[in-house]
Chain A
Amino acid sequence: MLAAHLVVERDPMSLRTPLAAFTLGFFAFTSGCGRKEYVRGSQQPGIDSAAMSTGLDKQDIQQMLQENLNNLRMSPVMDTWRKGGGKTMVAVFPFSNETTEHIESQLAAILSEAETWLVESNAVTVVARDRQNQIIADIEGSRNAVFNPAHVAQYGKQLGAQYFLTGKVQTSDERTEDARRVQYFFFMQVIEIETGAIRWQHKAYVTKMVR
């Protein structure tokens, strides 16, 4: 309204001012246009560092896992496993997504990374995932063959596992007029199947924001 009113009342000789504003506006609206290109991470080392969304990326996953697994390495339960000479059977059960983001594929990546770490530690024998899924399907029924924490004792019995490693990711998601912030809380725990006791638990945090 104000802009329109100003142009009506201005001296025509001062047209340069609105024209300059139009020019600025024009460049502001059209800046950022350009051709897209594919790039390779090995040739551009910083490619992984930029945050692309409020979801979890490789850097977030590595940071959270590193914090938790470093803590597990020093924990009493790990000492117990080492004393067992690698014969303790451990199952890695799905991590539950309790967030506001569809991060199921990232959770699967976390699961695989944790599984790899356990195998490489040589402290335990890890139950194969295919075998686990089969047992879960047998117990839960084929239509809704999803991991149910209430049935872990049954899973463990059929798998012959003594412990299972699992976890969950939760978020605090807040939105204002010009920003959205997602705070992730990543919990991991080791549960003894026979007693249901939590033998180890640790947490890590990551925050993502768009503004």
Chain B
Amino acid sequence: MKRHRLLFGGALLFVVASTLTGCGGHELRTIQARSALDAGQPRQAIEHINHQLGVDGDKDLPSDLTGDNALLVLDRGTVQQSLTQFKLSEQDFQASDKAIDMLDLAHNAGDSIGEYMFSGSSSRYVAPPYEKLLINTLNMINYLETGDLSGAKVEARRLAVIQRYIRDELKEANNSILGLGGFLAGFVYEKSGDADEALRWYDDALSFAGYGALSAAVRELAPRAGYKSPRIAKALAEEDAAAAASDDGADVICVVGYGRVPHKIPKRIPIGLALTLVADAIEPTNRRAADRLAAKGLVTWINYPTLAPDQGGYSVPTCTVDGKSIPMTEAVNVSAEVTAQWRKIEGKIILSAITRLVTRYAVGEGIEKVGGKGPLALLASLGTQATLTALDTPDTRSWETLPARVAIGRVRIAAGKHTVAAAARGVTRTQSIDVKRGGWATVSLQALR
């Protein structure tokens, strides 16, 4: 009877654990795409992502977007933007925006059980705040590139909803992504003729960076708007604001994303080191169990995700109009946001990895006790522990193709035909534009290497 229970228990654990964990972490699914981006081959990167998604072409979406495929579609959206396939990038960002939102809303207690018992990657993906904000921010660039102010305004409104949610529900008032989002959304409303809404967004942008390029726009908008704030008043007081404005031209904004944010990689560390790292946070019962394991010297490694180095930190992006440089300002350091967010949860991640180790040990010990002192029980115990260890996949899911940093510039030029050239990290884009008096254009570059 005991043996039957033992075998049943072992078999059930194996089936459950196999179901809840994948063959490898997310970073293994994307390694080829990242390598292609490193080699400056975004076209190949998209093909690798399409292969992982199981679709034939860039415009196809997978039939199932309810799981981690949503992340791959996000990755593809960024690469499509870097290839100036703006309509396809719009489609990817829109689809993944809804899918990520659904995943977030569907998060439940079962995910926590999976995370603490089987593997960090067995729970549903919950996008961190900076990813949620960047979906709408980067998609705004797509609509601006195609001259679609109506579509860009939809993204700006969606950004505002998420901004409110992050501020009111998650209690994170200051997220530097809003510096870039505010700049772009302000531009969208400025060009739509809504001065108040434009100033409200520019006010948000001014709270995160200097944005000297905004003072001329603020000066033009202020007489037409009722919106006031100390930052707007300060921008109005800047001496060079008046000189930059000229009524008979058109506005060009240049957006350059470069490098790539640190993605998550799996890391194995000895249980003793892990206990040292989380010494203050671990519960006494788990600590005693972990200490016993450390003393045993058997199966005493924990797997947990950590951040790889970011890329592109020392690059200098440039943008010119007819050969004349536009002053570029760093709008957002996405890598810093990723790292800061990671620091907040790193301890919890290590703790749950230790908990899983203790659980594996406990399950193995239980099987050994049920089976008695015989060799079969010992084998079943070790086998179960080894199986659960092998299936404990660190959660390496994240939006990996995000640019590490985004720089932005704005300039007023004479109406007519011009050539805009943007460059960063050895990637260049040259774009001809034809702007009317009072018109506008947006040129972007994503150098994701």
Contacts and interface: CB of A to CB of B under 8 A. Distances in A.
B363 A7 contact: yes
Contacts of A36: 63
B110 interface: yes
Contacts of A25: 16, 110, 113-114
Contacts of A29: 19-20, 110, 114, 122
A177 B361 CA distance: 35
B229 interface: no
A23 B101 contact: no
A195 B158 CA distance: 36
A100 B161 contact: yes
B358 A13 contact: no
Given A4-B358, A141-B436, A210-B105, A22 B16 contact: yes
B151 A1 contact: no
B150 to A, nearest CB: 6
Contacts of A19: 8-9, 12
A31 to B, nearest CB: 11
A109 interface: no
B105 A180 contact: yes
Number of chain B interface residues as a range: 35 or more
Contacts of B363: 7, 18
A11 B361 CA distance: 15
Contact of B110 (A7, A8, A28): A28
B355 A12 contact: no
A176 B315 CA distance: 39
Contacts of A180: 101, 105
Given A99-B154, A102-B94, A144-B147, A175 B15 contact: no
B150 A23 contact: no
A9 B362 CA distance: 9
Contacts of B247: none
A210 B16 contact: no
B391 to A, nearest CB: 14
Contact of B157 (A5, A30, A173): A173
B210 to A, nearest CB: 30
B131 to A, nearest CB: 15
B283 A5 contact: yes
Interface stretch (B38-46, B162-170, B332-340, B394-402): B162-170
Contacts of B367: 15
B322 interface: no
A206 interface: no
Contacts of A15: 5, 9, 366-367, 370
Contacts of B122: 29
A19 B285 CA distance: 22
Interface in A93-109: 96-102, 104
A53 interface: yes
A128 interface: no
B444 to A, nearest CB: 18
A52 to B, nearest CB: 11
Nearest to B91: A102
Interface in A4-46: 4-5, 7-10, 12-13, 15-16, 18-19, 22-23, 25-26, 28-30, 36
B155 to A, nearest CB: 9
Interface in B86-129: 94, 98, 101-102, 105, 110, 113-114, 116-117, 122
A197 interface: no
Nearest to A141: B436
Contacts, number: 118
B425 interface: no
B182 to A, nearest CB: 17
A50 interface: no
Interface string A78-115: 00000000000000000011111110100000000000
Contacts of A174: 161
Given A99-B154, A100-B154, A5 B285 contact: yes
A144 to B, nearest CB: 6
Contact of B151 (A96, A102, A210): A102
B161 A146 contact: no
Contacts of B320: none
Interface in B365-400: 365-367, 369-370
A3 interface: yes
B216 to A, nearest CB: 22
A8 B358 contact: yes
B16 A12 contact: no
B283 A104 contact: no
A175 B285 contact: no
A13 B283 CA distance: 26
Contacts of B5: 15-16
Given A3-B359, A26-B15, A143 B436 contact: yes
B225 interface: no
Given A29-B20, A36-B63, A143-B147, A211 B105 contact: yes
Interface string B344-368: 0000000100011011011101110
Given A12-B366, A25-B110, A143-B436, 14 more contacts: A4-B116, A7-B362, A8-B361, A22-B13, A25-B16, A29-B19, A96-B150, A97-B150, A97-B153, A102-B151, A174-B161, A175-B169, A180-B101, A180-B105
22 contacts: A1-B283, A4-B116, A5-B285, A7-B366, A8-B285, A15-B367, A15-B370, A16-B5, A18-B363, A19-B8, A25-B16, A25-B113, A26-B12, A29-B114, A30-B19, A102-B94, A143-B147, A171-B157, A175-B165, A176-B169, A210-B101, A210-B105
Top 5 A-B pairs, shortest CB-CB distance:
A12-B369, A175-B165, A7-B362, A4-B359, A8-B362
Interface of B: 5, 8-9, 12-13, 15-16, 19-20, 63, 94, 98, 101-102, 105, 110, 113-114, 116-117, 122, 147, 149-151, 153-154, 157-158, 161-162, 164-165, 169, 283, 285-286, 289, 351, 355-356, 358-359, 361-363, 365-367, 369-370, 434, 436, 439
